[in-house]
Amino acid sequence: MHPNEPRQDPQGHTPDPQQGPRTAAPWVSPGTASGAAPQQAAAPQQVAPDGYAGPASDRSEPQPGQPSRPVPPPPYQHAASGAQYPGQQPTHPLYPAAGGHGAPPPSWPVGQVAMPQPAPRRSERRWIPLVATAAGAALVASVATTGLLVGFDRPSHTATTIDSLGATSSEAVPVSGSTVENPDWEKVAAAVRPSVVAIKVQISGGEAEGSGVIVDTKGHILTNNHVVAGATQGGISVTLSDGRVFDATVAGTDPTTDLAVITLTNPPSDLVPAVLGDSSKVVVGEPVMAVGNPLGLSSTVTTGIVSALDRPVSTSDGNSQAVVTNAIQIDAAINPGNSGGPLFNAQGEVIGITSSIASLSQSSGSIGLGFAIPSNLADRIGAELLADGTASHAFLGVELTDGEATADGVTRMGAQIHSVSEGTPAADAGLKAGDVIVAINGNPVSGAESLTGYVRALAAGQSATLTVVRDGKSFTVDVTFAALDSSSTSGSQQGQSPSLPSLPWGQGG
C-alpha cells in the first residue's frame, strides 16, 4: 500500500480526507478545516455527573468486564463529631471540632465547563477507593504467591489470641530528650497515643464520632460535651489505640465549658493514662501535638505551635447556651472527629482539650485556626463531673457589652457593664453601669466574651482583682465570685467550697 494512501479503520471504513480526522469522544472538537495541517485537539474540561471537572483523559473509565469504581461522597464539615444537628445553623463562625450530625455536604458545581487547566483535587476522601483497590491487589498477589509455594496442600490452623494485637511499648512521660527547643515528636507520639481513644456515639439522628483522653486506670475518659450529648441508651463505644472496643457510659457533662467525662464498662487492666500538664505555663510559639480521630482516622497525629493564648471563642450547638472559652489557639491541623482529643506539649503532657475550629464555611476543614480548652480548666471541671456529675462556675452578676475606655492617656478595649444585679458580687464590689472592665488579675480584657471566659474559668468562692475605668479614671477592685445558679447551668449551688479539685490522672481511680 502506498504510504500516502488512506488506511482503513478496524471496521473496514476508509475515512474521507475532506472530513478531517475522526475523534475518539463526542465532546472532542473535530479536526482542522480542509487544506489545513491536522492539529491535535486539546481535551476541554468536562463536568461529570458527580461534579468532577477535568480533562476527559483524567477520568478513568471502566474497561469491559471490570466494575466501575465508586465515587466517595465529600466529607461533612465539623471539627469533631457530634456538634451540629440536622437543620441547625451555627451562630458563630467557629464550629465544634467534632464531626457534625447531619451537616450538609459542600456544594458542587454542575454543568460548568472550565478552561483547560490542571484538574482540581477531589475531596480529601477521594483516596478511599484507591486504598481499597490497593489492598485488594496486594491480597490477590499474596494469595497467588502462596499458591505457587504450597500448591494444593491443606491449610493448617494454629491457635492464637487477639487480645494483644496492636499493643506497643511506650515511652514514659515526660518524654526523655524531648524539649521545647528540640521536640522529639516520634518519641512523644509513641508515648501518648495509647492514652488517646476514638469515641463513636449513636444518636437519634444517626451517628457521631469524636476523641477522648484516658485519665486513670479505672477507665475514666475526658472528652467534649458535644461529642456525647444526645447519646442514646447504650450508644457510646470507645476504641483504644490498639483496636479493642469497649462500651461506655456518661459520668457527667458540663455544657457551659463543653466538657464531659465518660467511663468504660469493664475496663481492661492495661490502660495507659495520660499525664496532666500545666496550661498556665504554656507560651506563644511553643510546639504542640494534637492526637485524635479526625474523619474516623483514629490515632492521627498532627503538630504545630501555640498561636495565641486566652483567645475568646464562642460556640453553640443551637440547643443550649453559648460556650465561651478563653482558649489556646493552635495551628496544628484538627478536623471533624478531633473534638475531645488531647493537646500535648513537647514532653507529652496534656495541656488542652481540642474542641473547635474557625472555618470559612461548613464545607471546609482545618485552615490552621484550632482551639483547645486549657488543661487546668478541663482538670477542675472533669474532677467535679467525676465527683457528682455536675460542675460549678463563678458568677459576677452583670450584663456586658463590648466597649472601650480612655484613662491615663491610653484608650483600651474592655467589657462595658450595661447593668448590675442587686445582691451580686458585682454590686457588693461597688461596680456600676457604664464602668469598663479592662483587666482581670492583670490580664487584659478585650471585650465581653473575653471577660466571660475568664470568669467562667474560675470556681465559686474564688476572688479576682478587676481593673476598671470610670469617668476617665482607672482603679482596681477586688471581687469574690458566687456560684452560678443551677437553673442557668448544670453547676452547683451557692456556697461551693473554693478548694479546687483535680482529676485522678494516672491513678487507680
Give me the catalytic one of 216, 258, 317, 435: 258
Query: How many angstroms separate the CA atoms of 351 and 344, rounded?
Result: 6
Please, is 240 exposed, middle or buried when counting C-beta atoms within 10 Å of its C-beta (0-12, 13-18, 19+)? buried
What is the pairing mode between strands 436-440 and 398-407?
Answer: unpaired
Q: Is 9 exposed, middle or buried (0-12, 13-18, 19+ CB in 10 A)?
A: exposed
**Which entry of 299, 339, 392, 450 is annotated as an active-site residue?**
339
Q: Which of 78, 220, 226, 393 is catalytic?
A: 226
Amino acid identity for residue 23 in this structure: T
Strands (E), 65-151: 79-80, 94-98
Cα dihedral: 404, 406, 411, 417 (round 10)? -20
The answer to whether residue 156 is catalytic is no
Q: How far is CA 140 from CA 65, 130, 308, 372, 480, in A?
A: 18, 15, 51, 45, 70
Residue 464's nearest CA partner among 474, 473, 472, 454 is 454
One-character DSSP codes across 279-307: GGG--TT-EEEEEE-GGG-TTEEEEEEEE
299 in catalytic set: no
Respond yes or no: is residue 226 known to be catalytic: yes
Beta bridge partners of 198: 211, 239
Give which of 212, 211, 177 is closest to 191, Cα–Cα: 177
| Catalytic residue ranges | 226, 258, 339
